[in-house]
Structure formats: C-alpha cells, structure tokens
A and B are shown apart, each in its own frame.
Chain A
Amino acid sequence: MAFAPEAKGKAIILVVDRDSHIRELESHFLDQAGYSVGFAEDGDGALQQAHKILPDIIITEILVPALDGLMLCRRLKSDPRTRDIAVVVFSILSAAGRAREAGADAFLLKPLAEHALIDTVRQLLEARGARNRRAQHVA
C-alpha cells in the first residue's frame, strides 16, 4: 500500500496482520495519534515494503501468511538496510520470549488496547530519535 503524500514529516508505521478488523482499528488509532500508516497482509509483502519505504516501525502479528512475523523480524534485523526499523510483535500468541529472541523491540498481546499500542509506539520513536541524535553528534 502506498503512503499518502501528507505522510511527509509524520512517523511511518507499517501494520502487518491478516485480520482486516485489526488492520482497520490499528490504522484508525495510529492515524488519530498522528502517524502515517501502511498495511501488509503477509510477511513477504511486509518485507518488500520495508525495503521500499523504510518505515519507522513495523507492527506485526506472528501468524501471518507466507513469512511469519518472527521470521520477518529476523530478516529485518539481519539486514543492515532494515535493522534500524523498530519491530513490535503484536500477537494473539503469548510469545514475548520468542519475540525477544527474534530481535523484536517490543511485544504486545492481543486484543488491541489502543493506549498500550500508542504508548509503545511513542516510546520506540523516542528511543529511535535519541539514537539518531547520538549518531549525528558522533558524526
């Protein structure tokens, strides 16, 4: 899915979920919080989009077709071009440990609780901002 032109300047978040209700609700709450949101329905599509648009955060379910969410996370974290993308595993499976092993930056258990989701996104963006500032300072 292409991001709207007004996305410029906003943090970009890619939501990967096979459930249309989840995609729609996540999109709604993230959009309301001021983020630009794109979707993928499977892991392969998410990986392609990640390379193309380099989102700030990817929020993925583990149980997605083609390439599961944990494998997607490993691929992203092992590629220098995408390893700085923060990954939130947001799943119906209680798999915080497996998410950590896969290199995820955060784990959230379904169902969708918008306050927890937005808080997590904000914290990850703040951490990312701080890292970037440090990198610029060193350079």
Chain B
Amino acid sequence: MTKISIDPITRLEGHGRIDIFLNDDGNVKNAYFVVPELRGFEQFCVGRPAEEMPRITNRICGVCPEAHHMAGTKALDDMFKVEPSAAVKKVREMFYMAFYVTDHTTHFYALGGPDFVVGPEAPPAERNILGVIHKVGVDIGKQVIECRIRNHEVIKMLGGRGVHPVAGLPGGWSQAVTPEMQQQIQETAHKNVEFALFSLDLFAKLVLENQDYVDLVLSDAYAHQTYYMGMVDKNNHTNFYDGLIRVVDPDGAEFVKYDPHDYPQQVAERVEPWSYLKFPYLKKVGWKGFVDGKDSGVYCATPLSRLNAADGMATPKAQEAYEKMYDTLGSKKVNGRYQPVHFRLATHWARLVELLYAAERMLELVEDPEITDPKVRTTVKLPPTAPFKDIPGEGLEGVGCVEAPRGTLTHHYWGDEKGILKKVNMIVGTTNNYAPMAMSIKKAAEALITNGTVVTNGLLNKIEMAFRNYDPCLSCATHSLPGQMPLEVNIRDADGNVVEQMSQYTQGN
C-alpha cells in the first residue's frame, strides 16, 4: 500500500501529521490525522487526590485549559455528591462564556480566516493572520486582539489566575463576583455582543457575497452525512456548560438524548491497526468503516454539529443568526426543526453563531441579580462508600461533561473511599472528530490524487482546509519552540519509498 504522509518538519516531531494511504492503482484508500501521543497521563494522576484534577487537567492542553478545568470541576461535584448552588453554576458558566468568546474569535480570525478572507489559492506566506489583517484592515485586527485581551481579563478575574484557572472547587467556586467585577464584566459582555454581530456581518460580506466561496462551502468535496452530537438544555437549545447529550441522525431525527454518565453505553472506540488513535463511534449504530450515512456510527462533535443537534439557540440574536444560516444553506424544516447542514465548511459560520450566543449568554448571566451572591463555597463531606477494591461501583466515582469549543468533553474519575484517584478516563473534544476528520481529509485528497497522479498545486491548502474547520487540538500540552505546525507531504510508492516531497515550509524558501 502506498502511503502519503503530510508531516511536520523534523524539528517538530511529535506534533500533528496527516497520512494518506493509496491503493495499488494509486487512488486514495484511507487518510488519517495523527496527533501527538502524550503518554502516561493516567499513571500521572493515579494516587493523587481527585480535587487536584481541575488544576492538573488544565495543564494537559494549552489551548483549552478552561474546558478541562470546568469538566474536572464538574466531575468533582459528581464524585463528592455536592450540587452547586444556582449562583455557582451561573458564575462558572459566565467564566466559561468568556473563554468561548476568545477561543471562537481566535479561530475565525487567525485560523479559519486565512482560508476565506485571504483565500484558499493564496500563497502560503499570506495565509496567516497577517494576511487577514492586510485584507480587512488594521482596525479589525486591533478589535480582535482587544476582544481577546478583555475576555482574558475576565478569565483571570474569575478563574483566579490567567490561562490556567484555579477557581473550580467541588460544589463551588473559590471567589464570589463583586459589584465592581460585575460592572467590568458587563461592559465586556456588551462589547462582545457588538463584536460577534460585527463578525457575522463580516462573514456575510467576505464569504456570502463571494460566489466562489459560496460554491466552495456548498461543494460536495466538503460535505459528509453523519450523525451529530451536542449538549442541549431542557428546551433542546445549545448549551456549553450543562445539559444532556443529544445525537441526531443525518436526516435530523433525534437518535438519542443521554445523561453524560451514560457515555460508555453510547460511545465506543474503534481501533485500527494502522493508527494508535482510537476512533469513537456510536455504539448502538456500530462501526461500518470511514463512511457516511445512517448505518455508519461515525458522528461529529463541532460547532456545526452542536447546532445541528439542537432545535435552536437560547438567546434571541443568536437564534436569528442560526435561522439565517440554515435558511441560507437551504435547510428545510421538518417537524419544526431544521434539517442538519452537512457542508463541513459551514462550521466556520456555525462557530460565529456560537460566538454570538456565548456573548449574549455572558451578558444575561452578568445581569442576573444572583451573580453577585457572596456564597459560592460549600462544605464537602466524603460520601459514605464501601472501600475501593478495584471493583466498579465501590469507592467514589464522578463524571463531568461540558462542550469544549472543539467537541463534547468528558472527564471520568474513579477514586477510593477518600477520593484518592485509582483511574481516569477522558474523551477530549477533538477525539470525537477523528473519524470525520479522516473522512474529510480523504475526500479532499481524492479530489487531488487520481491513478497515482497528484495535483500538487494547492494540495496542502485544501487538505489543511478540510481539517482546520474541525479546529483540531494538536498542540496538547507542548509548547516547545518554534511552536508551529507546518505540513510536509511525503508521497510514497507501493513499496513505501518517498518519490516526492512537498511542504509549506520549503515551498516558500
């Protein structure tokens, strides 16, 4: 079997890579995305007090520490059986919305932006945030950075420290919101709503008014019919902080809605001999390979998936933006809800709808009179349990689940009767999307590789576009220099010999 590897250059070994396998005819057989294999996390955690987990897990990812902190904190609520007060939940959710605003903003302008704003055909040297700023103007660039900075302030203020928050406690939050904090956060939230609306307008101008981009978004090359997963509230509206996990089938009918505790009954992991990655799929549908359709257990958990899985958004302006997106993309309403949008590149649009929701929700929460409740801590007592003897059901166990920007995030801890950890399991956001990403990369590669002929022009860009819309989290934990992930393509013949080599890095040199 021929193998094409899109590799980072050697000095970045351990970072992401794309492998494309060809069959004997020189056509694409399989494609997958390799993320760094970090080892020994469970071993690292076992023997530590569970309450350290929100502070440990927020170190495993430099990109979404807030999501791990929140999932870990919620797992502790569950483990120690302490239900947080309504005020605590609101403070946590407000903190989490500030994180969502920064994360989605960064993705659209710095990461997805180069594909749309600068264009997929632009030379690699221009396809970065500098190229975006060049195109849209310095003022917008300043707004992006200001948006990040003001929300990082909120994260720092509420989370107890910047970047790696420490405020999450079982059943509580370490500090209350003072009236002064409330005022600052309110100003930030107002600006966020304005900025989100502005970003949606910008998307409309730059993408929707450009027929080439519209065609690209609507093209079959970037479409997949799969199941979609996302967290919903009691009204089946998208929620990032808490709720049930809803899965809809490719036609939009609800397949299942489950409590996050039940994930082991719903999600299984497929092991393939050619990758150490495990591919999650819907257990009750079954694994049928890397294929689309109702009979395939492949599901997707992204901003677009969350919107597809929900009946709508819980805030008014986001709901308007949601309806506009589905109407524009030709989705029909069946039984009162829109049919799923399968165009993967629409994920960028969905991300902006979510940005607006996060901004509006932050404003709602900060204006809630309960948000300044000084009582945010609670007494935690060890729940009585039989001593842990490596038998499931004994000792203390907790599951915590949130929507991370890049997919449903689940933490599951098992401890002894004192809460000393015995085992941990996590399904991180990006993991959910391994199979869909492989399928998208494969489809993009198929369009560019036929009978052994490789269209080199734009190959890297188009494959990058296929996976970037999933916002994959490769940089898990490591931030060693130079902190970049250039791609390299190795095209190998049937014997595995490299016959051609390309990379974004060498192209420009």
Q: Do A and B interact with each other, yes or no?
A: no
B interface residues, Cβ below 8 angstroms from A: none
A interface residues, Cβ below 8 angstroms from B: none
